[in-house]
């Protein structure tokens, strides 16, 4: 499964010494650029929270071990996230440090779940999904099956009228624009947004293997299953 950053790097063909410009957003693309050893990567964003998040990720890569990084993100349980943050804080700019000093609760809960869209998925996972599918069905979705068996399971068991109804409502342009995303994200989206996402959801559950999809696992279970490669970027700093 190709990540967005993989496609980006292939398209840009970054060479050592290049100067790169990226929208900060979650930071994945900007950090991926560093793996090509450019001279400089400049990350911009209208949202200061995004910049503060990216700064903390960079600081964590510099300061923490792999396990400690996963603790700070929220991938594994931890009672010492504030202490881990304080170790990272010396690498932060004054503005980023002030931002995180004012968001201690988000640090204690794991910074990986601190964003608006992450809270939106948490609402879906905790309040709506249990109305549609049992824990048993969710576990069956992530069993390692052949493409044919994945299609049979999705079409006969998962894709019920209740799933379709709640999905179309919750991921509609109106609801997602109010609770999950800035409405401007959909300025150039054509057609019914929820239907498009529902189609992509079926593709991800049948043509692709959900057992190998950490994002789908997190969205539906709240658990983060990172591959070893995820933290390889830490060695670039």
Per-residue pLDDT of the chain in tens (237 residues, 90 and over written 9): 557 788 888 889 899 999 999 988 888 899 999 999 999 999 999 889 999 999 999 999 999 999 999 999 988 899 999 999 999 999 999 999 999 999 999 999 999 888 888 889 999 999 999 999 999 999 999 999 999 999 999 999 999 999 999 999 999 999 998 888 877 878 878 889 999 999 999 999 999 999 988 888 989 998 765 443 333 333 333
In DSSP terms, 21 is beta-bridged to 42
pLDDT of residue 228: 35
d(CA 153, CA 206): 9
Q: Is the pTM of this model over 0.95?
A: no
pLDDT of residue 2: 56
DSSP state of 227: -
The label of the residue with tokens 């609770």 reads 179
SS3 19: strand
d(CA 226, CA 7): 20
Cβ atoms of 32 and 8 within 8 Å: the answer is yes
94-101 vs 48-63: helix crossing angle, rounded to 10: 100
* DSSP 3-state percent helix, strand, coil across the chain (nearest 5): 65, 5, 30
pLDDT of residue 224: 66
The Cβ-side half-sphere exposure at 37, using a 13 Å CA radius, reads: 2
Q: Report the chain's C-alpha Rg in angstroms.
A: 19
């Amino acid at each position: 499964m190709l990540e967005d950053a993989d496609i980006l790097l292939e398209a840009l063909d970054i060479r050592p010494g290049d100067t790169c410009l990226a929208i900060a957003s979650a930071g994945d693309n900007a950090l991926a650029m560093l793996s090509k050893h450019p001279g400089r990567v400049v990350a911009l964003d209208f949202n200061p929270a995004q910049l503060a998040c990216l700064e903390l990720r960079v600081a964590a890569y510099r300061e923490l071990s792999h396990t400690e990084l996963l603790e700070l993100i929220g991938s594994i349980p931890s009672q010492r996230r504030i202490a881990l943050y304080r170790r990272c804080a010396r690498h932060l700019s004054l503005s980023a440090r002030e931002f995180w000093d004012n968001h201690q609760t988000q640090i204690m809960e794991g910074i990986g779940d601190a964003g608006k869209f992450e809270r939106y998925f948490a609402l879906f996972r905790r309040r709506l999904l249990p109305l549609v599918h049992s824990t048993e069905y969710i576990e069956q979705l992530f069993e390692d099956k052949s493409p044919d068996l994945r299609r049979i399971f999705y079409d006969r068991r998962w894709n019920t009228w209740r799933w379709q109804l709640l999905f179309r409502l919750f991921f509609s342009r109106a609801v997602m624009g109010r609770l999950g995303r800035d409405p401007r994200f959909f300025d150039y989206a054509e057609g019914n947004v929820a239907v498009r996402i529902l189609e992509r959801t079926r593709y991800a559950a049948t043509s692709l293997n959900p057992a190998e999809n950490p994002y789908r696992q997190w969205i539906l279970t709240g658990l983060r299953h990172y591959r070893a490669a995820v933290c390889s970027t830490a060695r670039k700093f």
